[in-house]
């Protein structure tokens, strides 16, 4: 495991997205989520799409945005397999939370597939509620929906 002290979190650029797509399996394992990595998100939501970089490359990233009704929505978050369990996912989320608050967000939200136990445990550790929404992706296609209201404090 590697630490988070030498990691810098900054807004993501298109070059960063190309880099993580080139090493997709180091972040997502067997699952192919490449089609969800939308370059438009990086172009249009620059301050809420973040990368955590270090000397050895991009250790984690988060793509998100704030909706007009004040929801800070995290579309994707992943940390590189060799960087997990060191607090980097929490740190990326805290940076997103601050950026979302700066844009007036009043709650955070994310979704994951029903079988993604790691993501469910991660979000619960960050204080999110988790509920299964049966037809989220259409009839018979449930997803887990995470939500957390933003109060006065920043969740570190
Ligand atoms: C989910 C993911 C982003 C977590 O990143 P991470 O850098 O390992 O997370 P952290 O080290 O910051 O952990 C934060 C908390 O979540 C908990 N946690 C993280 N992953 C966990 C897991 N797989 N099982 C149980 N708890 C977990 C940690 O124990 C920690 O809790 P604590 O602070 O209360 O001790 C990472 O496992 C990942 O990239 N997974 C593959 C991609 C994915 O599924 N992303 C989410 C769906 S969009």
pLDDT at 154 exceeding the cut of 80: no
9 lines ligand 1 (CB under 6 A): no
Determine the pLDDT at residue 2. 73
From 3, 122, 143, the mutation candidate for ligand 1 (largest count of ligand atoms within 8 A of CB) is 122
| Over residues 52-70, mean pLDDT | 98
User: Is pLDDT above 80 for 35?
Assistant: yes
Model's pTM, two decimal places? 0.95
Q: Is the CB of 77 under 6 A from ligand 1?
A: yes
Share of the chain above pLDDT 90, in %: 92
pLDDT at 34 over 80: yes
* Cα distance between the two ends of the chain: 20
Map out the domains of the chain as residue ranges.
8-149
Domain 8-149 sits in CATH at: 3.40.630.30
What are the structure tokens assigned to 27, written together?
Answer: 């972040």
- Which residue minimizes the CA distance to atom 12 of ligand 1? 87
Range with the poorest average pLDDT among 5-9, 13-17, 27-31, 145-149: 5-9
Instruction: Tell me how far apart the alpha carbons of residues 60 and 11 are, in angstroms, rounded to a whole number.
Output: 12
91-130 tens-digit pLDDT: 999 999 999 999 999 999 999 999 999 999 999 999 999 9
Q: 4 CB less than 6 Å from ligand 1?
A: no
Q: What is the pLDDT of residue 1?
A: 60
Distance CA 4, CA 87 (A): 7
* Whole-angstrom distance, CA of residue 107 vs CA of residue 96: 12
Whether 58 lines ligand 1, by a CB cut-off of 6 Å, is no
């Amino acid at each position: 495991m590697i630490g988070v002290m030498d990691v810098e979190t900054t807004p993501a650029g298109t070059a960063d997205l190309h880099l993580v797509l080139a090493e997709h399996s180091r972040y997502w394992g067997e699952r192919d989520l490449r089609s969800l990595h939308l370059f438009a998100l990086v172009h249009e939501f620059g301050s809420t799409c973040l990368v955590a970089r270090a000397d050895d490359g991009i250790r984690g990233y988060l793509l998100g945005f704030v909706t007009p009704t004040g929801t800070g929505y995290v579309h994707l978050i992943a940390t590189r397999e060799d960087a997990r369990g060191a607090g980097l996912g929490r740190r990326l989320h805290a940076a997103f939370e601050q950026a979302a608050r700066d844009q007036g967000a009043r709650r955070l939200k994310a979704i994951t597939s029903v079988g993604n136990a790691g993501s469910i445990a991660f979000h619960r550790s960050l204080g999110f509620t988790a509920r299964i929404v049966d037809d989220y992706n259409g009839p018979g296609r449930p997803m887990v929906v995470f939500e957390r209201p933003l109060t006065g404090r920043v969740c570190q």
